Amino acid sequence: MRTLVTGGVRSGKSMVAEELIASAGQVTYIATGPRSDDTDWAERVAAHRDRRPADWTTIETTDLATALSELTGPALVDCLGTWLTSVLDELAVWEAPQASWEAALAERFRRVTEAWAQCPHDVVAVTNEVGWGLVSEHRSGRIFADWLGRLNQSVAGASDRVLLVVAGQVLAVKQP
C-alpha cells in the first residue's frame, strides 16, 4: 500500500505517518531534508529522530527515486516538501530563469513518481499541503508552492491512499 499523508506545518502528519508504518516490521526511514547548521532545523530533525524506533534504518538522501527503487521492505519518506527544497537548492533555481532548470526538475518528479508507483512494499510519504493561502510575493515562495503542488498531485495520483491531517485529525481523501 502506498499512502501519502498531507497537511499543514505542525498538523501532526509525521506522527500519523509513523503510526501507519510502525507495525510493518523493519522500516526504512528516508530522510530527505537539507543538511543545515540552523539551530531550529536541527531541533526539528532531532525530535523526529527521537520519536523513531531504534530498529528503524535511516537513509538521508535527495536521490529519492533510487532510495524507493532499492527498498527491501516498508518505508517512510519524510518529507516531499523538504526533498523539493533540497532539489531546488541543488538545481540553483532561486535566481535562475525557469527555462534553465525546469526540464531537470520535471525529470526528477517523473523518476520519483515512477519509483513510488512501482514500489512493491508498504510505503508512506509525508508532504506539506500548499496553496490554501495567499500567493507569495516572493519568487522563491511561488516556485516552491507551485512545484510542490505539482509533485503532490503526481504522487497522490500514484498512491493507493491519501490522508489529510488537520489539527492532528485524519481525513481520508482517497481510499483503496
Range of the domain at 123: 2-174
Q: Which of 48, 84, 129, 144 is catalytic?
A: 48
SS3 call for 76? strand
Quote the radius of gyration of the chain (alpha carbons, Å).
16
Buried/exposed 22-44: b ≥16 CB within 10 Å, e otherwise: eebeebbbbbbbbeeeeeeeeee
What's the CA gap between 163 and 5, in Å, rounded?
5
Query: Is 138 noted as a catalytic residue in this protein?
Result: no
Reported in sequence order, the residue ranges of the chain that DSSP labels E, i.e. its strands, are 2-7, 28-31, 57-60, 75-78, 123-128, 161-166, 169-174
For residue 48, which of 89, 73, 78, 24 has the smallest C-alpha distance? 78
DSSP state of 37: -
Q: How many domains does the chain have?
A: 1
Spatial neighbors of 145 by CB under 8 A, at least 6 apart, are 130, 131, 135, 136
Q: pLDDT tens track of the chain, all 176 residues?
A: 999 999 998 899 999 999 999 999 899 999 997 666 777 766 766 676 777 778 899 998 999 999 999 999 999 999 999 999 999 999 999 989 999 999 999 999 999 999 999 999 999 999 999 978 888 999 999 999 999 999 999 999 999 999 999 999 999 999 99
pLDDT tens-digit series, residues 119-164: 999 999 999 999 788 889 999 999 999 999 999 999 999 999 999 9
Note the pLDDT of residue 7. 96
SS3 call for 89? helix
Note the pLDDT of residue 75. 98
CATH number at residue 33: 3.40.50.300
Spatial neighbors of 76 by CB under 8 A, at least 6 apart, are 17, 18, 21, 27, 28, 29, 30, 123, 124, 125, 126
